[in-house]
Structure formats: structure tokens, C-alpha cells
Structure 1
Amino acid sequence: MDLKDKNHSKHKLKNKILQAGYDFSSIEGSGQSSDTLLSGALNFKQLANGISFHFADTYESSNTVSSCEITDLISFNILFSGKLSFAINEQKYHFDATKSEKVFINVINGKQAFSRFLTIDNSLKKLNLSVSKEWLIQRSLNDQEKRFISSLFKNKHAVYELKCSELLKEQALQLCSIELNDSLKSQLILEAHATLCITELLSMLKANVSSRVNSIESLVEKQKRKFDKEVLPFIQGGFTVKQIANKLGTSESTMQRYFKQHFQMSVLEFIREKKLEKARSMLVIERKSIGEAAYYSGYKHVSNFVTAFKKQFTVTPSELLKQHRS
């Protein structure tokens, strides 16, 4: 990789995050003496085979929070050196590789709020490889593999910490040493080494969570219609359940049965949940006030919004914001 010093301002860092495919990003920094948030090598690349590649060998010169939304993916991380902190929804995580390498894997099911914390005077070197949930499903060709992938995505998010094997370390360092350019040879080599790393990481993860596989249902989806996707455009329209059913050309009872079967909730409960998820995004990503988020969610009184929010996410809006701030 190109390790020449490069300075990254708030604007430049946000553009890199957007170019990497993460929408609704926001960055808030403090404590820096200049416009530079971090310096060093920072590379994002979407490979043609569907793997997202991210490599950083940087010095962090500010206390900064970078937030975005991530959805339906598994993120493999090798922290070679330095410290790394991040939050997913209401939970915060910290990894320290000052003594030895750390390996951690984030599994994200659905759309979740993610914040990464930069820390002043922190020198960090890490490799991140991410693939979508669909990427894994398409490559799972037998029932055992399908059950394993299903077990990974049974919760809204999960974080696993693994030991860094010598084989993985060697593969990761080889991947990080590949010169990034637009040549066909470079792209094929990068894809091959990235795939090898993911293969090793999945094998390590499977050994770590194998006891959970048997209790998970098959991934095969037999339902022809996915009413949850079709209902989304009507969420902010103030439509009744009956009106939504009419617009979708189905009966209210059919739609209710679908949500009870697949989500163990009514259509109204689903709509309320999606509004609260959007409110969470407004607070963390868009930096809206609690009052604005409450208004969006249809609550006339902030206190009622706070109660519903805590019931949904186990934390109040204020507590969530604390998790996603420096």
C-alpha cells in the first residue's frame, strides 16, 4: 500500500466514507489544532467480486466521531496496532492492539447506526474486509452452510473477538502489501488475497459459534410477497392499515397475518418500530434534536417518545447520544 503521508480533513474523510458506499455520514471533531483529523494511508475500495476493502495506517490528530448507517453485512477486522473504539446502536466496543494483534467480526442484520471514534495521538493500523449478507447467502450451497449463515444474522448485531492465527496474519499482511492501481493484475491479486482472508476468518468464526447453528431456522424464504418492504413507502403518509392494504391490493387480514408470522408483531407495531429506527438515525447520523426526532415519529409529547424509544432500544435518546459522542 501507499504509505506516503496524506492529511485527511473533515471534508476529505466524509467524501471517502460516502465513496465507500456509506450513506448519511456525519463527522464531528474536537481537540485538533488544525483542519487535519488524521494523516497517513487511508484506502477504501469496492472490489468487483463484491468485497469491500478498507486499509488504514494512520495517526489520529483529533478526537472525532464519524457516524453512518450500515446494513446487512459482515465486517472482518484485523487490528495490527493501536486502539479502536466504535458504537453500534446502544452498545460501545473497544479493542486494544498495543501488545498484540486483535481480530474482531461485526455482523449487522438490518439497518443499524454505527459510530467510529478517533482518538488524539492514536497510531492505528488495521485491515477491514466487508461483504453483504446476500454475498454470503449466494455462496452457501448446502443446508449446513445456510444454517451457519442464518445463525450469524439471527440478532440485529453481534460482535465476535477471535485470536489472530499466524496464517491469518501472514495472509492479511500480504494483502496490505499489494500495490493499489487500476491494472487487471492488481485487481485480480487483490480479489484473490481478500477472498483467502475471508475464507480463513469464516473458518475461525464457524469454530467459535458452531454450538449455535442447530437452533437456527433455514434461510430459505418461501413467502412470495415481502409486505414489510412494500409498506415502507407509506410509513410517513399517515395512512391507516386498511388504506395501506388497499393500496397494495391485498386484504388487511392477509397483511396482518404476514407480519404476525414473520415479525411476531402487528402492522402498526412494525410501522412504529421503523419510525423509531429512523428517529435513531436522525439523532446519531443527522444530528437532529430529540424534539425533531419525536415529531418525525408522530409523538406530540417528547416524554412519550422517550418512553417508546427506551422500550424499543433499551436506552433513552440521551443515553444513545452519549454512546455516539467522544
Structure 2
Amino acid sequence: MNTRLSKVELSRKIKDAGYEDAFIEAKDIASKELITGKVYFKKLPSGIDVHCVNMTEHTEGYSNSQIDACISINVLLAGKVSFALEHQRYDIQAQSSPVLFINIINSQQIFTRFFTQQQQVKKVNLSITKQWLLTRCGSMANRLHIEKIFASAQSVFQWPCTEKQLTLAAELYQKSLDETLNFQWELEQLALQFFCDSFTLLSDNLDRDAIPPKEPDINNSPLPVSQFDFEAKIESLLFESLSLKQIADKLGASVSTLQRYFKSHHQLTLKEYIRNQILEHARRRLIFDNQSVGEVAYHSGYNHVSNFSSAFKKYFSMTPIEMQNQYRNLE
């Protein structure tokens, strides 16, 4: 069954995956559907992040998130993806057949993913942090090899997808979306096999140019100017009990400027935006930190649990207890 995701709902999924500073900008802010389809994020017990999508993008826009040094391995099964690493934009397209592309993120960077109206995308992604790789090196020579990869002058590599890689990617996609899967190790085994095969290809290319990669399409169109700093800075001030004037002073803007910005970009007043972000944090505390409703209400700045529960239900259409039970039933 396809899922319909609004800007807020997609942002929630991305933040649940660990990218807590994620920001989404949509051209059509009135649209209640940013994407439709299947979107899956999972951090496996081994530490590998798996991300699978089969979706249609319904409006122009982009998402920003800060990512740590990592290797991101992708099989684009269908469609086109546009993204930027810091200030360099890339376009990858599966025209007649699937393609494999690998991104080397050599330091903490801003990753921008662009949405295109009516663009269909089917993709499998694995991300492995640099630290994950270094802790699994058996010798200094292995560590130096990892450092050499991350020192590469090229950030994005692209190859045609082999039959083996395509088979692994297809299996990984199916098992990732399989809600009846009993054993996570089946998914981990596939993910590790897929990673090892792709990592060998990358290593061989850097060592001997065994299979020369295709040059990715570099898009030189200007990147959008984002007010990402407003959201990021407010995120750090959510729990300081500041007045709107004090928040505005810390952001270096007037209250009226902030009110216009948040009304334009989020269709919310500044006060409503702050309240909603506090409730989003509360949701994650309930689900991932397994805190009691009373604890979460206190951390969220509510003096009475009943007031917190009422605000929570109004925003999420379920009570905090119902939210916790819903996720506990998935375990």
C-alpha cells in the first residue's frame, strides 16, 4: 500500500532515521502531498543504515540534512535523483537500465536532495560511517586504505549496475519492505554482502582503475538560498522558555520578520511552529527513549500532564499513551 507523505510527515521520517536537523522546503506549501509511495529508513543492529524508496514526487522542493563522514552506496533502479554535496550538485538517471553510484562524504557536510514534480524514483541506499569502517580494520594497512578512500578528490562515482548487484539490491529492497520478516539478520546479511561487493568495486577503482567509473552529470545551476539557519537556531532554543522577542534577538531578526518567514514557509505563526517542534521532540522521547508521559510532559515545558496530552492529541490525533502503544505493538 502506498503512503502519502506531507512535508511534515516526511521530515518526521527523516528525523526518526537520525537526521535530527533535517529541513524540507516545498515550492507548493499548500500541497498536502509532497510524495506518495513507499519510503523506508532502518538502522540495522550492525550499524548499517538502509534506505529504500519507490515514490513519486509531487512538487518542486528540496531537503537539507547534515551528515557525518560516510560512504553512501546507491542503486537507482528507476527514475532520476538530483542532489548536492555542500555546493556541488549532481544528477543521476537510470535511463535504459539501473545504475550504481557511490558517494564519498569525507567530512561532516550538508546534503541536499532535490524534488521534481511528477518525478518517479525507485532506489536502494546503504550508508556506512567512516568510524564504522575504521573500527573494523584489522591492520594499519587497512586503516590507511580507508583514509585513502576518504581523501579521494572525487566525491561521486557511477557505474552500470551488474547482474549481481542488481539481484542483491532487488532482494534488499523486498526484504526492507517486508513487514512479515521474522529475522533481521536476513536483512543484515544481504546488506553486508551488498556493501562488500560495492566496496570492492570502489577500492579496485581507486587502486588500479580496474572498472573506470562513468563521470556523474554535474549540474551547475545555482543552489537554492535557504533560511535553514532560522529553523536550526530555533531548534537549539526550544527548551529555554524565551519570549518571541528574546528568540528574535538571538536570531538577529525582528519578530515581524520571523512571523512573515514562518507563515510563508510553514503556514504557521512562530509560536505555533515552536509548539509543534516541541511536540515532535516529545513524540521521539515517547517512542525511542521510552520515557513516561509525565517525564515527557515535564521536559516539554508543561506543568500539567493533562494539558500536554490535550496538545499532543490535537497535533498527532492520538494521545501519548496511544502513540507509545502503537510503536510497542510493532516490536
2:55 is the alignment partner of 1:58: yes
- Contact between 1:67 and 1:284, CA under 8 Å: does it hold in 2? no
1:139 is the counterpart of 2:136: yes
Query: Which residue is 2:196 aligned to?
Result: 199
Paired residue for 1:221?
Answer: none
Q: Which residue number corresponds to residue 76 of structure 1?
A: 73
Q: Distance in 1 between matches of 2:178 and 2:136?
A: 27
CA contact (8 A) 1:54 1:128 kept: yes
Q: Structure 2 matches for 1:119-198, cutoff 5 A?
A: 119-154=116-151, 158-178=155-175, 179-181=177-179, 184-185=182-183, 187-198=184-195
Kept in 2: contact 1:113–1:285 (CA 8 A) = no
Match of 1:93 in 2: 90
**Which amino acid in 2 is paired with 1:174?**
E
1:190-213 Cα offsets, whole Å, 9 max, x none, are 11101110011001111111149x
Query: Is this contact kept in 2: 1:26–1:286, CA < 8 A?
Result: no
Report the RMSD for the aligned CA atoms in angstroms. Answer: 2.6
Secondary structure, in 3 states, of the residue corresponding to 1:100? coil
Identity of paired residues, percent? 31
**How many residues were matched structurally?**
219
The structural deviation recorded for 1:5 is 1.2
Q: Gaps spanning 5+ residues in structure 1: where?
A: 213-281, 289-294, 297-326
Cα deviation code 1:59-80 (max 9, x no counterpart): 1111110111011111111100
- Structure 2 length normalisation: TM-score? 0.61
Among 201, 225, 228, the alignment partner of 1:285 is 228
CA contact (8 A) 2:149 2:203 kept: no
Structure number with the bigger relative contact order (C-alpha 8 A, sep ≥ 6) is 1
What's the offset of the Cα at 1:183? Answer: 5.9
Q: TM-score, normalised by structure 1?
A: 0.62
SS in 1 for 2:39: strand
Q: Go from structure 1 to structure 2 and tell me whether the alpha carbon gap of 1:188 and 1:53 turns closer, same or farther (over 3 Å shift).
A: same
Q: Is the CA contact (8 Å cut-off) linking 1:78 and 1:128 kept in structure 2?
A: yes
SS in 2 for 1:36: coil
Q: Which whole-Å deviations, capped at 9, do the CAs of 1:99-128 have from their partners, x for residues lacking one?
A: 211111111122111100011111110001
Of 13-22 and 147-156, deviating more is 147-156
The DSSP-based 3-state class of the residue aligned with 1:170 is helix
State the one-letter code of the partner of 2:163.
E
1:14, 1:26 within 8 Å by CA — same for their partners in 2? yes
Query: How is 1:1-326 mapped onto 2 (pairs within 5 angstroms)?
Result: 4-31=1-28, 34-154=31-151, 158-178=155-175, 179-181=177-179, 184-185=182-183, 187-211=184-208, 285-286=228-229
Following the alignment from structure 1 to structure 2, what is the Cα–Cα distance between the partners of residues 283 and 27? 10
Q: Secondary structure at the match of 1:62?
A: coil
Output one character per residue of 1:17-55: Cα deviation in whole Å (capped at 9) or x when no partner: 101111311111114773100100000011000000100
1:144 deviates by 3.7
Q: Report the CA distance shift for 1:169/1:286 in structure 2 as closer, same or farther (over 3 A).
A: same
